[in-house]
């Protein structure tokens, strides 16, 4: 069983949280810490000037509220919001915080994944703990 579980959430679908949280409940020790993590990708410098600042803040506040509500449904749940490249941010957070299991959703690979790779594939290759990928 696991005592420090990380669930990265992209908010692309309901399964980003619902299924991973069920798996976390089934695999967690009593008193386990479950961290829900969202990573805001840093917009390219050429595009950021066209995005209204209040829209960015409103989006962050909305995500924070949704994350807090989701974390409240999981025993030992907490939220963390970071900025950067999702795969790297997830791997770095897992390494720095003693994560022993990452549970994350994946999508069906497409042509773009051949060139760039998916976030889930990056995490699987770069973390030093168990990774449970849900498709």
Query: For the chain, which residues make up each domain, given as ranges?
Result: 2-134
Residues of the chain with pLDDT under 50: 115
Let me know if domain 2-134 sits in CATH 3.40.50.620: yes
Beta bridge partners, 104, equal 133
Q: In the prediction, which pLDDT does 118 show? A: 85
The DSSP H or E segment spanning 39 is: strand 28-40
State pTM to two decimals. 0.89
Kindly report, residue by residue over 60-88, the tens digit of the pLDDT: 999 999 999 999 999 999 999 999 999 99
Q: Which helix (H) or strand (E) holds 56?
A: helix 53-71
The gap from C-alpha 36 to its chain's centroid, in whole angstroms, comes to 6
């Amino acid at each position: 069983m696991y005592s420090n579980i990380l669930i990265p959430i992209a908010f692309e679908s309901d399964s980003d949280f619902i299924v991973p949280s069920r798996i976390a409940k089934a695999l967690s020790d009593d008193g386990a810490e479950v961290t829900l993590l969202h990573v805001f990708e840093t917009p390219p410098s050429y595009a950021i000037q066209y995005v209204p600042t209040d829209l960015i803040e409103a989006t962050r506040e909305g995500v924070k509220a949704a994350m807090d509500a989701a974390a409240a449904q999981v025993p030992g749940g907490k939220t963390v919001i970071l900025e950067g490249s999702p795969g790297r941010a997830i791997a770095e957070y897992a390494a720095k915080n003693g994560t022993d299991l990452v549970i994350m959703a994946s999508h069906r690979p497409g042509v773009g994944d051949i060139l760039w790779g998916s976030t889930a594939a990056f995490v699987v290759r770069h973390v030093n703990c168990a990774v449970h990928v849900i498709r």
